[in-house]
Structure 1
Amino acid sequence: MTEPINQEARGPVTPARRNRLADGPEALFVYGTLQFDAVLEALLGRVPPRTPASAQGWRAAALEERVYPGLVAAPNATTLGLLLTDLSTEEWAILDAFEDDRYDLRKVPLTSGDSGWAYIWADGDIRAEDWNADDFAARHLQQYAARCARISAELAKGAIDAIK
């Protein structure tokens, strides 16, 4: 069974979400579903430039009853992901609306010496095991990307309203 995609994200961009972008984030470190071209294409209509990246001291944790992960502090772990660059203001707003309020947007140091902004899981429901991207791709990606495509127009409208 697959749960709904970040149900809270379906509403308009709230002032609290808008404030998360007030620091003018630049590159976004992605470690879960946003690593997949199909998901990015469904949400943004394109796949932004990206490079492999990793964050030491963090892990992409499997979450209870969710197919997507949460980035949580883990001193002895390193999470592999991608660094998305050249995101427009509207694309940042879309991705921020997509990530629900259970995530905090924070800058994290990367093993390259650079830093990137990442959506950190700030709530409970963390499982002991790491999230498995291969399992997600095999079992959930197609349906997940299709759902992202269905909500993308609403997210884009909220993003445009937020940056006006």
Structure 2
Amino acid sequence: MRVGVDGTETAGRVPQDAEGRAPAEGRALFVYGTLMFPEVLRALLGRVPDSAPAEVAGWRAARLPGRVYPVLVPAPEGTARGLLITGLTAAEWRVLDEYEGPMYELRPVELTDARRGWAYVSADPAAASAEDWDAGRFVAEHLDAYLGECAGWRAEDGPAP
């Protein structure tokens, strides 16, 4: 059993959507939280994949009480802003899946511009705060320490490249 960056155990699962379909290598990943930061991607993957600004309607990046990272939860009037990452290898999908851990489920999403991608959404939306996650606050108060946690997780518990 591996341990995610948040300290929870992960099952070493292959990235799959709710129907058990795994995204193919090269498919796009919508990110809305810590994975928007090139420094975090570099700490986890050893590189920064290509990305472009993206939005998904009907969702929001919610603050998660007691954590510095958000969860994506349904929000009928909301729009989550983030990035669409492309060019991920199968090995990188495995790293990100273990990084996200059991707190998230991988699901297909449609972006506001009709592009499609995958997103890690909350497995338990009730755990989210009513407040939105604040990326600026994350950078100002937590990014440096979080980078150390990511690098440590990758070195000790992350999947083999």
- Deviation digits for residues 41-95 of structure 1, max 9, x if unmatched? 0000000000000000000000111100000000101111000000000000000
Are 1:80 and 2:76 an aligned pair?
Answer: no
Q: State the one-letter code of the partner of 1:37.
A: P
Structure-2 separation of matches of 1:131 and 1:34: 13
Q: Which runs of 4+ in 1 moved over 6 A?
A: none
Structure-2 separation of matches of 1:86 and 1:147: 25
Structure-2 separation of matches of 1:19 and 1:51: 22
Partner SS, residue 76 of structure 2: strand
Q: State the one-letter code of the partner of 1:23.
A: A
Q: Normalized against structure 2, the TM-score is what?
A: 0.88
Partner SS, residue 67 of structure 1: coil
Counterpart for residue 14 of structure 2: 18
Structure-1 separation of matches of 2:119 and 2:104: 9
- Deviation digits for residues 27-52 of structure 1, max 9, x if unmatched? 00000000001100000000000000
Partner SS, residue 99 of structure 1: helix
Count of aligned residue pairs for this structure pair: 151
Counterpart for residue 152 of structure 2: 150
Identity of aligned residues (%): 47
- The answer on whether the counterparts of 2:32 and 2:80 sit within 8 Å (CA) in structure 1 is yes
**For 1:6-155, what aligned pairs fall within 5 Å after superposition?**
6-8=6-8, 13=12, 17-18=13-14, 20=16, 22-25=21-24, 26-123=27-124, 124-153=126-155, 154-155=157-158
Q: State the one-letter code of the partner of 2:138.
A: F
- Once superposed, what is the RMSD of the aligned Cα atoms? 1.7
- The answer on whether the counterparts of 1:42 and 1:148 sit within 8 Å (CA) in structure 2 is yes
Q: State the one-letter code of the partner of 1:63.
A: L
Shift of 1:6: 2.0
- The answer on whether the counterparts of 1:43 and 1:94 sit within 8 Å (CA) in structure 2 is yes
Report the structure, 1 or 2, having the larger helix content.
Answer: 1
Structure-2 separation of matches of 1:19 and 1:150: 22
Q: Normalized against structure 1, the TM-score is what?
A: 0.86
Shift of 1:18: 1.6
